[in-house]
Chains A and B, each alone.
Chain A
Amino acid sequence: MKLRYLVACTAAAQTLTIGAAFAQTPLTMWYHGAGNEVESAIINQIVADFNASQSDWSVSLESFPQGAYNDSVVAAALAGNLPDILDVDGPVMPNWAWAGYMQPLPLDEAVIADFLPGTKGYWDGQLYSIGLWDAAVALVTRQSTLDTLGLRTPTLAEPWSGEEFMAALDAAKAAGNWDYAFDPGMAWTGEWYPYAFSPFLQSFGGDIVDRSTYQSADGVLNGDAAMAFGEWWQSLFTGGFAPGTSQDPAARDNGFIEGRYAFSWNGNWAALNALNAFDDTLFLPAPDFGNGPKIGAASWQFGVSGTSQHPEGAAAFIEFALQDEYLAAFSNGIGLIPATASAAAMTENYAEGGAMAVFFALSEAQALVRPVTPGYVVQAKVFEKALADIANGADVADTLDAAVDEIDADIARNSGYGH
């Protein structure tokens, strides 16, 4: 009896699937989160909900490990095999849009009116990508550390100045309770450098490239402000405040929790760990080095591939995924900052008074996107190498000059990157 019931059910389910497959136009989608079970479960749920919610489109998902994702997209684009829906790291989007891998996202602006600015990917005046979440960085420390060192607690309205920050590091170093006063995270090579450290440069008044034209870095990456930034950056390492480029990745991941660093420059994704370790963990806003406190913005976002025949279907899926409940699910699942205030209210950590609500405020108040240009991919690499070299004791002016020359030569070779 039971068996017969099961067979009947299966048959019914099969008829359903077949019926659906005939009516729905298939769409393919690629995602960078393979290997993360929680993340995969959420994105699979969204796809399943979408396919069940309407009869026009049927999305099928393929996940890639993050490390291989960008290479896979580039290879697929060269071979002409792009899916309909892509996810893309925010700062890389202009490069793909410029190269024709993506097309503008046909989405009603009203849908995303309440979204955090860092989640919207604009290139050439058009929306190409939209994120379900953002990420933010804060100066992580403990209330007990501030009390021991006799430091005032900086706030969003009144962050530390550069001098106050260095005074705090001096005090922490003199106290001798920690291996290092400050952990900027030098072990995290790659995109972490421009994401986490270029806001310091911007707070000094410099930048990776001149954003008024995007045609040169001369004067902004090697001007007086940038030189001051470079000297300050080098002093962190020559002064013994921070571990250098040979920091052990394990020390980066666990050093703060193990009490080896007084202050850590770290993202919201590591916040839960720190909170679990210490009840009095604080997430402080970035220091203001003269041009306002700054942190990086933009994380992974969704967009439509350049070769897709069904941009309206892709947009329908993306709009479906932008519902608050999914934003909140991602936030609860993997600790990301939900893109809207209404979704934040639905989460455990980002709701008013939640443990990580401060990150939502930081994202709103201090976030600055990385340079919006197709050349960013190269500029990020050049910037990373310059910062590593300066940390290792290279001459600041010569290193920044060399970075400027390389960026300018690259822009020239690409005929200005279409700006």
Chain B
Amino acid sequence: MSSKLTTSNRAGWAFAAPGIVLIATFIIVPFFFAFALSLTNQRLISPNPTQYVGLQNYRDMLSLSVLQLAPERDAAGQILRDADGTPSYPRVRDITRNPDFPQYRGMREWFRVHLGDTAHVVIARDVVFMKALVNTVTFVLVVAPVQGGLALILALLVNQKLRGITVFRAVYFMPVVVSIVVVSLLWRFIYSPDGGLLNNLLSGLTFGAFQPVNWLGNPDTALPAIMGMSIWQAVGFHMVIWLSGLQTISPTLYEAAEIEGASKWQTFRYVTWPGLRHTAVLVLIVITMQAFALFAQIDVMTRGGPLDSTQTLVFQAVERGYGKQDISGGATISVVLFLIVLTISLVQRWLTRERA
């Protein structure tokens, strides 16, 4: 096999060459560049020479510590509590900015857990990165199943032989064709707190009982709002992939199922779904990778705010690399993101492998 591949298939290599050269030049080589840059202090603009700094960038980004804060006590040893019984704790900045604890210098509270009266405060050197990581993972965990599922439902709906069904196919596919930047701008108007379409619609449907929500300005709703519009935007693309999978299933299988008296659900469960196996793997991997690359919506709609509730890894990589001229910092995020996506792809492949 290998000898055939390397010796007698010149035409094949010739056809593959343009693709291989482009992928190597623009994807593989830059990745190795990124990995090399992440071990240096490379800047976008600087007269200073680039220096090798080892894993310093990774340490600056990933360092975590846990502080245990005991509640403050009065002279008699009683815990000081405020009106609703919450104990008061010393401020974290009194420790992180204390010259007695140089190891915590530059770290900041990420979140805290209360066990009994002791507060366990997790402090991170790069809280924004940590929040970006959590947001990105949350985004993937919600968007991958919801978008994949919705796309399948749409595909089943438009896979019927009805008059004018192509109109529906075209309508569902339309948002995919429009530039994501334009879509993001439009959705900014839809989500607008004063007179936005969504607020007006909801208050109309509830006869004015609905209180307008500042969808993108509230840390609790900003990320879900972006998830919603992202799912809407790309669902048509995955619908088409499902549709192509659906149309490869032989009609004779459906006829046989009908003769056997299978219900609609049984037909789906035992004929359609097994026939979509490879399509499902493809859709899942593609959605996962696209979701990890979330950038344009953030850049146009929220720029990571409010209060870091929509920071994502790719947005931070660009913000650091170009905005803050810190190429090495941006490269470090890219490498971490690459490792995460690689791991997930390998796990997905392993989970969906053909079992002998």
Contact = CB atoms under 8 A, between A and B. Distances in A.
Nearest to B328: A413
B92 A398 contact: yes
A57 to B, nearest CB: 29
A392 B306 contact: yes
A246 interface: yes
Interface string B105-119: 110110000000000
A389 B307 contact: yes
Interface in A371-392: 377-378, 381-382, 385, 388-389, 392
A414 B307 contact: no
Interface residues of B, number: 37
A405 B108 contact: yes
Nearest to A388: B305
B46 A246 contact: no
Given A99-B45, A398-B109, A405-B106, A377 B97 contact: no
A245 B306 contact: yes
B43 interface: yes
B333 to A, nearest CB: 15
Interface stretch (B64-72, B214-222, B247-255, B337-345): B214-222
A10 to B, nearest CB: 45
Interface string A133-146: 00000000000000
- Tell me what chain B mostly uses at the interface: helix, strand, loop, or mixed: loop
B93 A246 contact: no
Interface in B25-51: 41, 43-48
Interface in B266-323: 303-308, 319, 322-323
Nearest to A98: B47
B97 A246 contact: no
A71 interface: yes
Contact of A414 (B48, B97, B214, B323): B48
Interface string B8-21: 00000000000000
Given A246-B193, A401-B108, A394 B307 contact: yes
B216 A246 contact: yes
B217 A99 contact: no
A187 B48 CA distance: 36
B129 to A, nearest CB: 12
Main secondary structure of the interface of A (DSSP, over half): helix
B46 A381 contact: no
A413 B93 CA distance: 23
A388 B222 CA distance: 15
B201 to A, nearest CB: 18
A418 interface: yes
B59 interface: no
A389 B308 CA distance: 8
Contacts of B73: none
A393 interface: yes
A398 B93 contact: yes
A305 interface: no
Given A397-B93, A398-B93, A409 B106 contact: yes
A194 interface: no
Given A246-B306, A398-B109, A405-B106, A100 B47 contact: yes
B323 A381 contact: yes
Contacts of B91: 397
B194 interface: yes
B324 interface: yes
Contacts of A389: 305-308
Contact of A245 (B45, B96, B305, B319): B305
Contact of A377 (B216, B308, B325): B325
Most chain B CB atoms below 10 A, which of A393, A410, A414:
A414
B62 to A, nearest CB: 15
Nearest to B126: A406
B192 interface: yes
Given A398-B108, A402-B108, A99 B194 contact: no
A382 B323 CA distance: 10
A138 to B, nearest CB: 26
Nearest to B96: A401
B307 A393 contact: yes
A189 interface: yes
A393 B309 CA distance: 13
Contacts of B105: 405
A388 B306 contact: yes
A248 B43 contact: no
Contact of B41 (A77, A98, A402, A413): A413
Nearest to B193: A246
B288 to A, nearest CB: 29
Nearest to B303: A189
Contacts of B303: 189
A178 to B, nearest CB: 14
Contact of B194 (A100, A248, A414): A248
Given A397-B93, A398-B108, A392 B41 contact: no
B130 interface: no
A244 interface: yes
Contacts of B60: 409
A377 B326 CA distance: 11
A95 interface: yes
13 contacts: A77-B45, A98-B47, A246-B214, A246-B217, A248-B192, A381-B323, A389-B307, A389-B308, A398-B92, A398-B108, A405-B106, A413-B41, A413-B326
Interface of A: 71, 74, 77, 95-96, 98-101, 189, 244-246, 248, 251, 377-378, 381-382, 385, 388-389, 392-394, 397-398, 401-402, 405, 409-410, 413-415, 418
Given A248-B192, A382-B324, A392-B305, 5 more contacts: A246-B216, A392-B219, A397-B91, A398-B93, A401-B97
Interface of B: 41, 43-48, 60, 91-93, 96-97, 105-106, 108-109, 127, 192-194, 214, 216-217, 219, 303-308, 319, 322-326
Minimum-distance CB pairs A-B, first 5 = A246-B217, A392-B306, A99-B45, A405-B106, A378-B324
